[in-house]
């Protein structure tokens, strides 16, 4: 039986965290191929990108496999990397968008992988890899995300906006947050612990000084009344945090998969998202699973839902579809498992078509979570739409 009274904690990291810098650069490369490929007459259906980035003191290494037009050069890849670093805000001696050495080591995708993925003759497009993917939704927040991760993201988003606008010029790009939420009768009711560690540009600032800067954004992010006299704060608990970003800690693509998803409140299949085009089911099927889970909860069929999809490389149809409503369901889970693939094709091509994933929409996902975001006019975060609600209600 599920526990009703407990504490649960999730963390987030900012766009300037070393791993997030790498996620952003890798996704900028994906967007570059989807943006420039069609201009050169290359079908977006045929674009392939699997890009990994490493960042350390004034050095960025970009490696991986791609397929696209020859017009996309290493110089173009380097340019989008530098632009991303500049946009994040790194102009420091140890990591600077203009001074960092950028090495591009991208090469052609393996033909043996390509033959399993590409459609040919009577063969439909296959999955880009084997694996399991999970989607999750719950009614704890308006975005149908778990409260701890949702508010951890919100704190850092507000701090970043203040930094970019000039309202908080003392803050640097690198930051982390962590929120511990107390649940009562299964519902989030208050925050018991708050952790914020943020890079600051003035060496003289104390932890108390930094708290005075960030506290208004924390309070703005959290629901009224959730922070009270009992809430324990930890702001820059180690003291000074001036050296940050890739100069302070090496970054790699794909090391923040729990931050990217549900903050530990739901299972994770293990595959990272950033740097991968939409044939990679690690990414596209995880988006599809979230889309289905969110619509199940939005339709009122459950208070929370976990959906698992499984794939084999080169095979179109998912090997399994699993639904768990955690004892909150109003309908039979086995029937949901049968109906969901009828409403949305869960083949890789079907997912790409339904969610319109052959677009340069991925760099915006690289920080503050891939889920719980607002769909935008350019097609970003299409998996957050709740346009299956009426069909799901009708099916039951």
CATH class of 131-139+266-395: alpha beta
pLDDT band at 122 (very low <50, low <70, confident <90, very high): low
Residue 118 has pLDDT above 90, yes or no: no
- Looking at the DSSP bridge assignments, the partners of residue 176 are 13, 197
- Give span(s): CATH 3.30.300.10, the chain: 6-13+147-243, 18-117, 131-139+266-395
CATH class of 6-13+147-243: alpha beta
276 neighbors 254 (Cβ within 8 angstroms): no
Over residues 272-283, the mean pLDDT reads: 96
Residue 120 has pLDDT above 80, yes or no: no
Pair of tokens at residue 53? 């980035």
What's the 3-state SS for the chain?
CCCCCEEEEEEEECCCCHHHHHHHHHHHHHHHHHHHCHHHCCCHHHCEEEEEEEEECCEEEEEEEEECCCCCCHHHHHHHHHHHHHHHCCEECCEECCCCEEEEEEEECCHHHHHHHCCECCECCCECCCEEEEEEEECCCCCCCCHHHHHHHHHHHHHHHHHHHCCCCCEEEEEEEEEEEEEECCEEEEEEEEEEEEEECCCCCCHHHHHHHHHHHHHHHCCCCCCCCCCEEEECCCCCCCCCHHHCCCEECCCCHHHHCCCCCCCCCCCCCCCECCCCHHHHHHHHHHHHHHHHHHCCCCCEEEEEEEECECCCCCCEEEEECCCCCCCCHHHHHHHHHHHCCCCHHHHHHHHCCCCCCCHHHCCCCCCCCCCCCCCCCHHHCCCCHHHHHHHC
Cα–Cα distance between 324 and 307 in angstroms, integer? 6
Residue 86 has pLDDT above 90, yes or no: yes
CATH 3.30.110.40 fits 18-117, yes or no: no
pTM value surpassing 0.75: yes
pLDDT band at 1 (very low <50, low <70, confident <90, very high): low
Q: How far is CA 345 from CA 109, 339, 350, 371, in A?
A: 26, 11, 5, 20
Per-residue pLDDT tens digits for 230-267? 999 999 998 889 999 999 999 999 999 999 999 999 99
Top-confidence residue, 282 or 112: 282
Residue 294 has pLDDT above 80, yes or no: yes
The pLDDT, as a whole number, for residue 123 is 65
28 neighbors 51 (Cβ within 8 angstroms): no
Per-residue pLDDT tens digits for 29-75? 999 999 999 999 999 999 999 999 999 999 999 999 999 999 999 99
Pair of tokens at residue 233? 């704060």
Strand order in the sheet with 131-138: 131-138, 304-311, 320-324
- Looking at the DSSP bridge assignments, the partners of residue 11 are 178
Mean pLDDT of the residues in the chain: 95
Per-residue pLDDT tens digits for 159-214? 999 999 999 999 999 999 999 999 999 999 999 999 999 999 999 999 999 999 99
Residue 13 has pLDDT above 90, yes or no: yes
What contacts 277, CB < 8 A, 6 or more positions away? 30, 33, 34, 47, 48, 49, 50, 283
What contacts 112, CB < 8 A, 6 or more positions away? none
């Amino acid at each position: 039986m599920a526990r009703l009274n407990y504490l649960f904690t999730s963390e987030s990291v900012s766009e300037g965290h070393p791993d997030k810098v790498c996620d952003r650069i890798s996704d900028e490369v994906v967007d570059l191929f989807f943006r420039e490929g069609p201009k050169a007459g290359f079908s977006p259906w045929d674009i392939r990108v699997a890009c990994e980035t490493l960042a350390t003191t004034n050095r960025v290494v970009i490696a991986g496999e791609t397929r696209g037009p020859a017009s996309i050069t290493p110089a173009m890849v380097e340019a989008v990397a530098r632009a991303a670093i500049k946009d994040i805000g790194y102009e420091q001696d140890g990591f600077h968008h203009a001074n960092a050495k950028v090495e591009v080591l991208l090469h052609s995708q393996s033909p043996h992988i390509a033959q399993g993925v590409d459609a040919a003759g009577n063969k439909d497009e296959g999955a880009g890899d084997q694996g399991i993917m999970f989607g999750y939704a719950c009614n704890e927040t308006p975005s149908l995300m778990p409260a701890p991760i949702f508010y951890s993201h919100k704190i850092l988003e507000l701090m970043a906006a203040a930094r970019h606008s000039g309202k908080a010029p003392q803050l640097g790009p690198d930051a982390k947050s962590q929120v511990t939420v107390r649940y009562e009768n299964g519902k989030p009711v208050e925050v018991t612990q708050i952790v914020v560690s943020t890079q600051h540009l003035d060496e003289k600032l104390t932890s108390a000084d930094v708290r005075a800067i960030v506290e208004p954004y924390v309070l703005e992010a959290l629901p009224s009344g959730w922070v009270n006299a009992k809430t324990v704060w930890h702001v820059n608990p180690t003291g000074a945090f001036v050296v940050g970003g890739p100069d302070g800690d090496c970054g790699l693509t794909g090391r923040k998969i729990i931050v990217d998803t549900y903050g530990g409140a739901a299972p994770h299949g293990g595959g990272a998202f950033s740097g991968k085009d939409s044939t990679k089911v690690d990414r596209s099927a995880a988006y599809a699973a979230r889309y289905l889970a969110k619509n199940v909860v939005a339709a009122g069929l459950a208070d929370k839902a976990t959906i698992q999809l499984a794939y084999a490389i080169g095979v179109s149809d998912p090997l399994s579809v699993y639904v768990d409503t955690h004892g909150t369901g109003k309908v039979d889970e086995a029937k949901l498992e049968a109906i969901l693939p009828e409403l949305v094709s869960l083949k890789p091509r079907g997912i790409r078509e339904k969610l319109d994933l052959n677009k340069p929409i991925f760099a915006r996902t690289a920080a503050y979570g891939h889920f719980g975001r607002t769909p935008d006019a350019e097609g970003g975060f299409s998996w957050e739409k709740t346009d299956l609600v009426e069909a799901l209600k009708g099916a039951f």
